[in-house]
Amino acid sequence: MKKRLDREFFERDVLEVAARLPGKFLVRKYPDGRIEQFMITEVEAYRGEEDMACHASKGRTPRNQIMYERGGLLYIYLIYGIHWMLNIVTGKAGQPQAVLIRGLEGLNGPGRLTRRLDIDRAFLGEDLCRSESIWLTEGVNSFKIITAPRIGIDYAGEYWKNMPWRFFVEKTSG
C-alpha cells in the first residue's frame, strides 16, 4: 500500500492542499476489517473567515470549531437535513480552512460518497494522520488538474462565488 499522507501535507494552505488532492487515494477500513480505496477526483477549498462561502465566515461556532484546529482532522456536517459532507481541515491551528471532498472515482456527489463509505457524524474530528478507519495515501500524478468556481454558494456574492477553488481531474474517455 502507498505511503500515508502526513501532518506536513495537511498543514499547508488550503489552496495548496486542494490543488494536490485530486489523484490521491482515500482509504476506508470498515469495522469488519474490509478495506476499500478510491481515487479522489474532485474537491473544493474553503478558506478562512474572509471567504464568504466558508462556514467560518461568521466566526467561530460550535458547528465549525473543528475548522480552527490543525490540518489533517475531519470536519463532518449534515446539509439539508439529509447528506453528510466530508471535509478535511487544512492549515495550521487557528486558520479556519477545509477541503470538501466532492467526488471519488466512480462515486460522484459529496452526499452520495459519504453514504457509500458509511461516513457520518461519528467521523467528526477523526485524524487522517492516525486513524485506523480512514486515511489518505499518495496517488497518481498522471492527471491534469482543472480548476473552476465552487458549486452551490450563490449566497456568498459574486466575488467569492467566482473564485476558482474547485479542483478536479481531467475527464478520461475510458
Partner DNA sequence: GTAAGGATTGGC
Partner DNA sequence: CCAATCCTTACT
Min dist CB 110 to DNA, Å, is 4
Min dist CB 124 to DNA, Å, is 9
Residue 165 cell numbers, joined: 477553488
Min dist CB 33 to DNA, Å, is 28
Nearer to DNA, 19 or 138 (CB): 19
Nearer to DNA, 53 or 169 (CB): 53
Report d(CA 107, CA 43) in Å as an integer.
13
Nearer to DNA, 27 or 99 (CB): 99
Buried b (16+ CB within 10 A) or exposed e, 2-17: eebbeeebbbbbbbeb
Min dist CB 1 to DNA, Å, is 27
Residue 89 cell numbers, joined: 481541515
Nearer to DNA, 39 or 138 (CB): 39
Residue 174 cell numbers, joined: 475510458
The answer to whether 67 and 55 are in contact (CB under 8 A) is yes
Closest CA relative to residue 123, chosen from 91, 149, 87, 154 = 87
Nearer to DNA, 2 or 63 (CB): 63
Min dist CB 137 to DNA, Å, is 22
Report d(CA 148, CA 162) in Å as an integer.
8
Closest CA relative to residue 125, chosen from 82, 41, 46, 65 = 65
Write out the residues near DNA by the rule CB under 7 A: 44, 46, 53-55, 58, 61-64, 67, 75, 77-83, 85, 87, 98, 100, 109-113, 150-153, 155
